[in-house]
Amino acid sequence: MKLLIKGGLVVDPLGKIDPAADLLISEGKIEAVEKDIKYDGAQIIDATGKMVVPGLIDMHVHLREPGFEAKETIATGTRAAARGGFTSVACMPNTRPVADDQSVIKFICERAKETGVVNVFPIGAITKGSKGDELSEMADLKAYGAVAFSDDGFPVSRSDVMRRAMQYAKMVGLPIISHCEDKELASDGVMHEGYMSTVLGLKGIPAAAEEVMVARDIILAELTGCPLHLAHISTVGSVRLVREAKARGVAVTAEVTPHHFTLTDRAVAGYDTATKVNPPLRTDMDVAAVKEGLADGTIDVIATDHAPHTDEEKDVEYQYAPFGLVGLETAVGLVFTELIATGVLTPVEAIKKLTVNPARILGINKGTLAVGADADVTIIDPNIKEVVDVSQFETKGRNSPFIGRKLNGLPVMTIVNGNIVMHERKIIEK
């Protein structure tokens, strides 16, 4: 059956579509985008008072399958994505086994077709086992569906290996996504190094642990000409380095997470292990810097770094808990509450960082409502309010630092390839 979305405010980051247009969807594609469409027999979706946007793309999630199904599966992770308004996700390769060969990439793609409810794009490992020594077979990974390369969580410490990785990635035409962290500087720190770490008696991770690797990878990108995407940057210095690199014409892009533009290291004061993330929550100055970077275009993408863990893993003393929090189901609400309502970004600017920009960086044919495009659409009600309740989450993870927080502006419908997969905050069961 055809879907006809009427009465909504169309938010097109490319500015080519009339905001007052209706959308007609047929056989998984956008068939028409124009005013006052009439089509007998179509299922009418009344979007009055809501925003109709291209399907959201999260280019940084951890689906945990294969190997860590107790934390998350492709089925539960994609259900969480759909509830969060995302129609596509790119999943990191730190699975078990690591997604460093064609068999794992092939498994993820097949499993996503069998059990997933949104589009899944795997990211292949830069090095075998993400050990930082021997490069993966990058051309094979791309042939089987990888859209980028990353050793996320395990930074490539050897500069010679990273240089060769960028040279090969450029040859195969995919970007490198870098987790920027100097492990020696970070040592065994568990939170941001500063006043709060001293007060709380926890070992800190200095901002320099991130910034020296941001600087190195920008220099290597400049040397090799490889497109470089910097994951979850979080400090004043990182934002400045990216801004300066872009001014020189380096092919670098960057992302920030909702928790890094919302929370500071003061959130660690209660020793809630849901606040233990890598990179750590930073200071007020850092939060202000990433917001400024979002506003002036230095930061291209908003991504969640969705990282679910089991309750047993997180229910330990702070220093022993794994890094990571769940973010797919709170991201849009945090963007509207923290960025749009406060004037940091306009709705168009925010949606661009959630659609067009990640699609461009990954080279995937998504993030648009143009006629003929895949019918991936998200409908957001900017006036709806919701208190974060992890018992309603679709992800297996309950490690959210936002429990009890009131969010404004939430996705109310997710359409993937022309099929409604989420309506009124509930997944549509097949």
pLDDT in tens, 188-235: 999 999 999 999 999 999 999 999 999 999 999 999 999 999 999 999
The Cα–Cα gap between 151 and 136 comes to: 11
Radius of gyration (Cα) for the chain, nearest Å? 21
Q: For 220-233, what is each residue's pLDDT tens digit? A: 999 999 999 999 99
Q: Which helix (H) or strand (E) holds 318?
A: none
Give the rounded percent of residues in the chain with a pLDDT score beyond 90.
99
Nearest to 122 by CA among 130, 135, 101, 114: 101
Query: Which residue from 208, 217, 306, 192 is spatially nearest to 257, judged by alpha carbons?
Result: 306
**What's the pLDDT band for 430 if we cut at 50, 70, 90?**
confident
Residue 421: closest CA among 390, 378, 385, 365: 378
d(CA 346, CA 356): 15
pLDDT tens-digit series, residues 122-143? 999 999 999 999 999 999 999 9
Strand partners, 91: 61, 122
Q: Contact, 60 vs 403, CB < 8 A?
A: no
Q: Active-site residue numbers?
A: 305
The tens digit of pLDDT for each residue in 251-296 reads: 999 999 999 999 999 999 999 999 999 999 999 999 999 999 999 9
CA dist 398 and 321 (Å) reads: 14
- How many Å apart are CA 177 and CA 124, to the nearest integer? 10
For residue 235, the Cα-to-chain-centroid distance in whole angstroms is 18
Which residue type sits at 150?
A: S
Mean pLDDT of 91-105: 98
pTM above 0.95, yes or no: yes
